[in-house]
Amino acid sequence: MPRKATVKTEETPKTEQSVDMQALMQQMQEMQKQIEALKKEKEEAENKNSDSENIIEALKKSLAQKGDSDYEKEIPVVSECNGVLVLSTDGYGQGTKYKFDKIGEMQNIPFGDLKEICKNMKSFAQKGAFYILDSDAVKKLRLEGAYQRMLSNEDMENILQKPANQIIELFHLATDKQKDTILSLIENAKMDGKDVDYNVLAVVGKEMNKNLIQMFDSQN
């Protein structure tokens, strides 16, 4: 009986070249994954940057609008000079002018103009030639310290209606500019025939280098 032919099947061994090719393909796939991941990270970063830029622009716009609104806000200002007072945005009578004809007169001045006045007429702002009736504006203009060292508008307007001892006390607390105004108010009151306590005349006259008692006694 003839033998059946058998076919011997054997696994063909992988060549070195095919192994290298598979490894290369795996590396390329890994690199592609890394590239895709980097692209995604870049897109996310760009989106974040875009969002941040939009937020920053929105904040800038909001602040600009608020700033414009602040600059246009009307601030009440009262003259503390016994006579004509002219405030100007550029100083020395230049720029936009605001004229006050008498002590106690009030005008509304836009904050932007008031800021320039305080910048260019610093001594007037700090010594009490005028008084700002808005605490927020005083704070923004950095005048809080100066306002703690000067008499309030109410004290200045009514100073001669107070008892003599209070007038003298307030006079000593006043700034040099306010003392000039108080002296002027006393002189006007005496010239109008009003009574002013002799102690007030003596104290104020001595500090201001004026013999008020003799001046007005000689007119009687």
Render pLDDT for 58-101 as a digit per residue (tens, 0 to 9).
666 665 555 556 788 999 999 999 999 999 999 988 999 999 99
Confidence grade of residue 215 (pLDDT, cut at 50, 70, 90):
confident
Task: For residue 11, tell me if it sits in a domain.
Answer: no
Residue 10: per-residue pLDDT: 47
For residue 121, give the nearest of 100, 151, 148, 152 by alpha carbon.
Answer: 100
Taking the C-alpha atoms of residue 106 and residue 99, their distance in angstroms, rounded to an integer, is 10
Domain boundary residue, one of 148, 164, 181: 148
Q: Which residue has the higher pLDDT, 32 or 211?
A: 211
131, 162: one domain: no
169, 108: one domain: no
Give the count of domains, the chain.
2
88, 143: one domain: yes
119, 166: one domain: no
Residue 9: per-residue pLDDT: 44
Task: For residue 192, tell me if it sits in a domain.
Answer: yes
For residue 116, give the nearest of 85, 86, 92, 88 by alpha carbon.
Answer: 88
Render pLDDT for 125-150 as a digit per residue (tens, 0 to 9).
999 999 999 999 999 999 999 999 99
Task: For residue 106, tell me if it sits in a domain.
Answer: yes
Token representation of residue 105? 């007169």
Residue 8: per-residue pLDDT: 47
Domain boundary residue, one of 148, 169, 194: 148
The phi, psi pair for 200, rounded to 5°, reads -65, -45
Taking the C-alpha atoms of residue 153 and residue 161, their distance in angstroms, rounded to an integer, is 14
Work out the angle at residue 104's Cα, subtended by the Cα atoms of residues 150 and 139, and round it to the nearest 5 degrees.
Answer: 45
Task: For residue 194, tell me if it sits in a domain.
Answer: yes
Q: Which residue has the higher pLDDT, 176 or 216?
A: 176
Domain boundary residue, one of 129, 148, 167: 148
Q: Which residue has the higher pLDDT, 181 or 20?
A: 181
Residue 7: per-residue pLDDT: 43
Task: For residue 107, tell me if it sits in a domain.
Answer: yes
Domain that holds residue 135: 72-148
Q: Are 96 and 87 in contact (CB under 8 A)?
A: no
140, 168: one domain: no
3-class SS at 128?
coil
Quote the pTM value.
0.67
126, 158: one domain: no
Task: For residue 17, tell me if it sits in a domain.
Answer: no
Taking the C-alpha atoms of residue 53 and residue 12, their distance in angstroms, rounded to an integer, is 63
Lowest mean pLDDT among 51-60, 100-109, 145-154, 167-176: 51-60
144, 81: one domain: yes
Q: Are 116 and 89 in contact (CB under 8 A)?
A: yes
Task: For residue 54, tell me if it sits in a domain.
Answer: no
Q: Buried b vs exposed e over 162-186: b needs ≥16 C-beta within 10 Å?
A: eeeeebbebbeebbebbbbbbbebb
Tokens 């100073």 appear where? Answer: 159
